[in-house]
């Protein structure tokens, strides 16, 4: 009985976790000062179907990785490319610089 409860917890627990909206925004692309079809884009899944749009305010390059965090309604809180972290206004957060200095960041 305990094993069944654990299995049910994982199955239904993951369903409720995905329904919270924290992964509704996907930040994509590479920032360039030149016009590019691969510039900073956002895929927004808040309404179910993806809405894709350019985010010209974002100047962070996503060469190797990107991680973002949103609130429960899907609004962006902060994001990082593994080198520095910025808040929703695209400003570097306190102690958000140089979190992973390496040869790939220069």
pTM: 0.66
Per-residue pLDDT tens for 14-67? Answer: 545 544 566 778 887 776 666 666 678 888 888 878 888 888 778 787 766 788
pLDDT at 87: 92
Name the residue with tokens 């179910």.
Answer: 48
pLDDT at 65: 75
pLDDT at 41: 82
Range with the poorest average pLDDT among 23-27, 66-70, 94-98: 23-27
pLDDT at 50: 85
Compute the distance between CA of residue 15 and CA of residue 36 in angstroms, rounded to an integer. 37
Compute the distance between CA of residue 5 and CA of residue 29 in angstroms, rounded to an integer. 42
Higher pLDDT, 44 or 100: 44
Judge whether 78 and 93 are in contact, CB under 8 Å.
yes
Higher pLDDT, 25 or 88: 88
Higher pLDDT, 95 or 3: 95
């Amino acid at each position: 009985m305990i094993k069944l409860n654990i299995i049910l917890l994982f199955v239904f627990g993951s369903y409720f976790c995905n329904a919270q909206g924290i992964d509704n925004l996907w930040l994509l692309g590479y920032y360039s000062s030149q016009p590019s079809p691969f510039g900073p884009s956002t895929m927004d899944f808040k309404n179910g179907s993806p809405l894709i749009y350019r985010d010209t305010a974002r100047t962070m390059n996503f060469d190797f990785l990107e991680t973002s965090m949103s609130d429960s309604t899907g609004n962006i809180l902060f994001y990082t490319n593994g080198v520095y972290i910025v808040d929703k206004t695209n400003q570097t957060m306190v102690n958000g610089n140089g979190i992973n200095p390496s040869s790939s960041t220069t």
